[in-house]
Amino acid sequence: MKDLSYKKLSFAYIAYILLWAVLHVFVFHRLGFSWQIALVDSAINNGLLLTLSFAMAMSLKYFSPSKRNALMLIGWSITLAIASAWLSNFFLLQIFITDVDYVALLHKAFLIRFCVSFLIIEWVVLFSWILNRMRNRQEMDARKADVEKMLREAELEGLRQQLQPHFLFNSLNSISALAGSKPEEARRMIQQLSDFLRGTLKKDDKQMSSLQEELKHLQLYLDIEKVRFGHRLNTEIKADEESLALLIPPLLLQPLVENAIKFGLYDTIGDVTIQINSSVENKNLRITISNPFDVETAQPSKGTGFGLKSVQRRLHLLFFRNDLLKTEIKQNLYTTTVIIPQTI
């Protein structure tokens, strides 16, 4: 809780003391004492109350006892109330020692003065203690949130660093295979890989990208994969105009499409078409990636390895949900569906 709360408390308490001081003056005057005695009595008594209360409030700002030691606050309040009442009587006796009636009242009213001082000081002490505990709790929650955010960002960065070598090694192996038989394609693939990595390094999870930007970046990846697989790999991308403007975590599509290529082409010898469709569903972005597979040779049900798990983990870290990624098998079609909440 910010120091502004202490300022508000200070103004409220000063206003309360001033109101009580005015009432104090009128009560003493109605008891038959002069305005001078009433004003001086009120000024000394309430001035001491104000000083001691603020001293206690400021002390609690930097030292706050635990709940187990909460009774300590009552002890402090009693001590300060006794000090306030005794000091008030001491100073007032020095000033009005010749006024017999007033001196007699001071001795008789000591207990009342103590009780009033205790109630006022205890109210300030308890309120300050509660205020401090609320501030400390908010600061702890803020620090905890910062730590959790740092851990999420570190884990997200770790996932990205794992994804990049995973794809990079596959691409380098393909370049190595093409270097001898098809050097032109190997050079072209190196250039495409360079463009892809250059765009990848500029992205991070702190800044969402539009689907249109991600599809452009995805096309660089698909161009590389098409060099690897030739005419066997075909893609169909269908995105309606409304969905293109929606936001998506950067580099989220690439591992999903890589998973589709892996289980669509690795265990087959024919041509494969991977379909990527996007739409708006309940104001959120819905993306489906479908790939056919050979029922007899492929095992897509086991294809929930690093790629899909990393995407699911990223979605959980970013949106705190575990239901945003789903897979489905219908006959010889494997479909991955991802929902991207639009938080803006």
What is the tens place of the pLDDT at every residue in 91-124?
A: 888 888 888 888 888 888 888 888 888 888 887 7
What residue numbers bound the domain in which 15 lies? 4-143
Whether 189 and 327 map to the same domain: the answer is: yes
- Identify whether 171 is part of a domain: no
Q: How many angstroms separate the CA atoms of 219 and 282, rounded?
A: 27
**What per-residue confidence (pLDDT) applies to 7?**
66
- Identify whether 310 is part of a domain: yes
What is the percent of the chain where pLDDT is above 90?
11
Band (pLDDT 50/70/90 cuts) for residue 301 is very low
Whether 132 and 197 map to the same domain: the answer is: no
- Identify whether 132 is part of a domain: yes
What is the percent of the chain where pLDDT is above 70?
81
- Identify whether 174 is part of a domain: no
Domains: count for the chain? 2
Whether 206 and 311 map to the same domain: the answer is: yes
Whether 123 and 222 map to the same domain: the answer is: no
**Pairing of the two strands 272-281 and 233-239:** parallel
Whether 204 and 137 map to the same domain: the answer is: no
- Identify whether 161 is part of a domain: no
Q: How many angstroms separate the CA atoms of 11 and 127, rounded?
A: 14
Over the Cα atoms of the chain, what is R_g?
38
Whether 115 and 251 map to the same domain: the answer is: no
- Encode 259-299 in three state secondary structure: HHHHHHHCCCCCCEEEEEEEEEECCEEEEEEEEECCCCCCC
- Identify whether 97 is part of a domain: yes
CA separation (Å) from 59 to 129, 152, 160? 10, 38, 49
Does the pLDDT at position 174 exceed 60? Answer: yes
Q: What is the pTM of this model?
A: 0.55
Q: How many angstroms separate the CA atoms of 53 and 127, rounded?
A: 11
Q: Are 310 and 258 in contact (CB under 8 A)?
A: no
- Identify whether 107 is part of a domain: yes
Whether 90 and 218 map to the same domain: the answer is: no
- Identify whether 24 is part of a domain: yes
